[in-house]
Amino acid sequence: MESQNMDLGTERIGKLLVRFSVPCILSMVIGALYNIVDQLFIGNSELGYLGNAATSIVYPITIIVLAFGLMWGDGCAAYLSICQGKRDTAKVSRAIGGCIAASAVIGLLLAAICAIFAKPLLSVLGASGETLNYAGEYLYTLLFVIPFYLVATMLVSVVRADGSPRYSMLATCSGCIVNLILDPVLIYGAGMGMRGAALATVIGQLTCFLYMMAYIPRYKTFRLSLRALIPDARLVVGSSRLGLSSFLTNISTVVLSVVTNVLLARYGATSVYGADIPIAVIGIVFKVFGIVISIAVGVSIGGQPILGYNYGAGRFDRVRETYRKIVICDVIVGFAATLLVELIPHIIIGWFGSGGELYIQYAVLSFRIYMGLILVTCLTKATAIFFQSIERPLTAVAVALSRDIVFLIPALLIFASIGGAERGVETLLWSAPVADILSLILTVVLLINFFRNLQNKKQ
């Protein structure tokens, strides 16, 4: 443990970022693939874009589960790193153990709610007719694995902060590889359709969970006992506070997804595209968007142990340098993504199966407009993780919510109404770049204020 602390406090920042961020990026991208692999196979099956529309409708429910896992996982990871910097890890075991117990309980509760209210939930999320049947079949199969998925998601972040980013990455990889192998076997070979896609996901997530359970005796910075699993409310709340921005970032994605689907269903029904094409397309755009953001956030989360330790140790010069390098990496990621969505959107949409002329037309339009300022989104999302890593939960929440909730949802309503019944599904796409610009302005103001205060604190 002492050796690891000295590395975080003295090793070159660039070398540390590579050590922690590369496995983290791979882990985040592979985690995002859980939500995209099914669509790739479903879209190329007889289910077509209706199957993709169904998975897009279920997507917000999986994000809610992910939000709780990341809240406790990222919160405990930040708490662990800061305690290491302060050389005080006495309460770490109780905090993490209590959050594991809380994750299991919430997972069971979410599964029960989804089982009881499946059809009303799916209807609210935009399902109707044939897509409602497909979405219900997909969701019911996923219910069993929700508690395991939630606990595994939480532990992936903790293991990474414990100094084992490669193990964390391998755990996530194992689940995705299993999912990738089983999808064609169950969807095509066994002819199970939506149920086969969901079952492949279930088995993949169980694989990741078992991988994380095998790490429990190997923790380096604390020891997890059965007694530690008895929740201490103060420690659980404290850790949750540090992970609040991760929770709200994902919940905002859910709210955004629901509002977008409702608007697309409403305005799409009176447009040349119909309701199903816009919903199917925007679901794919969200998944591709999520992969790009997972890379950007992966860099920032990889830097979390470095930021937390050095902030706790009072090494503010290293905090500043770490953030600067994170920004450089995210600018590169955002620029590369912008080139792809602007130059080859038709190729990207082709990966998810074929469609008619209107389907391709709306997909190209969506990628080029909605993801036009993805570089800015990369910076704001990563900055929220930065503030979370250094005990600034309220600032992190402000940044995390600014784009999707504060700016984007009102913009969606305004731009959709501007386009009206015939063009509302097209004009609402412009709300994303507008929200990106506004959230960037807010983020820059908060960063200037933070670093000015940090300089005063250092003096």
> So what's the pLDDT on residue 456?
67
Task: At 151, list the tokens.
Answer: 């606990």
The answer to whether position 265 is within a domain reads yes
Instruction: Give the CB-side neighbour count of residue 148, counting CA atoms within 13 A.
Output: 18
> So what's the pLDDT on residue 90?
67
Helix ranges (DSSP H) in 128-192: 129-142, 146-161, 165-184
Distance, CA of 56 to CA of 283 (rounded, Å): 5
Mean per-residue pLDDT pooled into runs of 10, the chain (459 residues): 55 83 78 67 70 76 85 83 71 83 91 88 75 83 89 87 81 85 84 83 90 86 77 80 79 83 86 83 85 86 83 82 91 93 86 78 92 92 86 83 91 91 89 94 91 70
Domain count along the chain: 1
Selection from 382, 389, 385 nearest residue 311 by Cα: 389
Distance, CA of 41 to CA of 253 (rounded, Å): 24
> So what's the pLDDT on residue 31?
67
Q: How big is the chain by its Cα radius of gyration, in Å? A: 21
> So what's the pLDDT on residue 89?
66
Distance, CA of 384 to CA of 314 (rounded, Å): 21
The answer to whether position 350 is within a domain reads yes
Distance, CA of 340 to CA of 297 (rounded, Å): 19
Distance, CA of 123 to CA of 289 (rounded, Å): 24
Selection from 134, 122, 111 nearest residue 192 by Cα: 134
The answer to whether position 394 is within a domain reads yes
Beta carbons within 10 angstroms of residue 101's beta carbon: 16
The answer to whether position 124 is within a domain reads yes
Beta carbons within 10 angstroms of residue 8's beta carbon: 24
> So what's the pLDDT on residue 4?
47
Q: What is the dihedral of CA 284, 376, 71, 33, to 10 degrees?
A: 30
Distance, CA of 163 to CA of 30 (rounded, Å): 20
How far does Cα 296 stand from its chain's mean position? 11
> So what's the pLDDT on residue 339?
94
The amino acid occupying position 336 is A
Contact 103, 72 (CB under 8 A): yes
> So what's the pLDDT on residue 458?
60
The answer to whether position 3 is within a domain reads no
The single residue listed with the structure tokens 């192998």 is 181
The answer to whether position 131 is within a domain reads yes
Selection from 291, 277, 238 nearest residue 99 by Cα: 238
Distance, CA of 240 to CA of 67 (rounded, Å): 11
The answer to whether position 2 is within a domain reads no
Q: Which domain holds residue 164?
A: 9-458
Query: What backbone torsions phi and psi does residue 383 show, to the nearest 5 degrees?
Result: -70, -35
The single residue listed with the structure tokens 């194992």 is 174
Query: What backbone torsions phi and psi does residue 269 show, to the nearest 5 degrees?
Result: -60, -25
352 burial via Cβ count (<10 Å: 0-12, 13-18, 19+): buried
Helix 374-389 crosses helix 276-302 at what angle (to 10 degrees)? 40
Distance, CA of 246 to CA of 298 (rounded, Å): 12
Contact 144, 1 (CB under 8 A): no
Q: How many residues does the chain have?
A: 459
- 124 DSSP assignment: H
Contact 337, 292 (CB under 8 A): yes
Distance, CA of 92 to CA of 83 (rounded, Å): 8
The answer to whether position 4 is within a domain reads no
